[in-house]
Amino acid sequence: MSRVLIIESSARQQDSVSRQLTQTFISQWKAAHPADEISVRDLAINPVPHLDANLLGGWMKPVEQRNEVENASLERSNQLTDELLAADVLVMAAPMYNFAIPSTLKAWLDHVLRAGVTFKYTPTGPQGLLADKRAFVLTARGGIHAGGSTDHQEPYLRQVMGFIGIHDVTFIHAEGMNLGGDFQEKGLNQANAKLSQVA
């Protein structure tokens, strides 16, 4: 049995293409792996606070020097990191907002990229500690960006995933969602075709 952790980040609750992709992924994954455990963290419904002095204090101060707020911030970060550590498969649903990932997803990443927990520093440079995991990234984009200079999602997410040791990363892009007509239909068809091969 594998554990699958899904991270939703779309601000839309209705008419969200990335959420549609997530539901398709879940349906197909369950059909192929009925014994697997799937959990969903929705960063739109339960947003994670952005990196601040309280979280830094929770990470860096000795326990006897932390205040109540710093302890609570550390506890939240530990919970998020524990979820990631327990997962065998990570799925991030990431609509493109202003050419990048949603700030809610960035905030989650800031909590789980933890020195000594998900990566470590060595004499030869940083080393990721999650090499046994695989990841899928489901994106929804208004225009056509894959492989171009305006795509700041895939290069960034590949880098941060690699930084913590996850190099098996599959991207599934639904592009042209705001271009209407044939573009939208083609983008959805391509994304769904790739999803059908994932499970």
Q: Which residue has the tokens 């499970």?
A: 199
* Centroid of chain to Cα 44: 13
Residues 105 and 122: their CA atoms lie apart, in Å, by: 27
Dihedral, 102, 104, 106, 109 alpha carbons, nearest 10:
-140
CA distance 11 to 102: 8
Please enumerate, by residue number, every residue annotated as part of a binding site for FMN: 10, 16-18, 96-99
Give the closest residue to 73 by CA, choosing from 91, 50, 45.
50
Q: Are 164 and 119 spatial neighbours (Cβ–Cβ below 8 Å)? A: yes
Residue reference for tokens 């649903």: 93
Which residues contribute to the annotated binding site?
Answer: 10, 16-18, 96-99
Question: What are the structure tokens assigned to 153, written together?
Answer: 């999602």
Q: How far apart are CA 88 and CA 54, in angstroms?
A: 30
CA angle 165, 167, 169 (to 5 degrees): 130
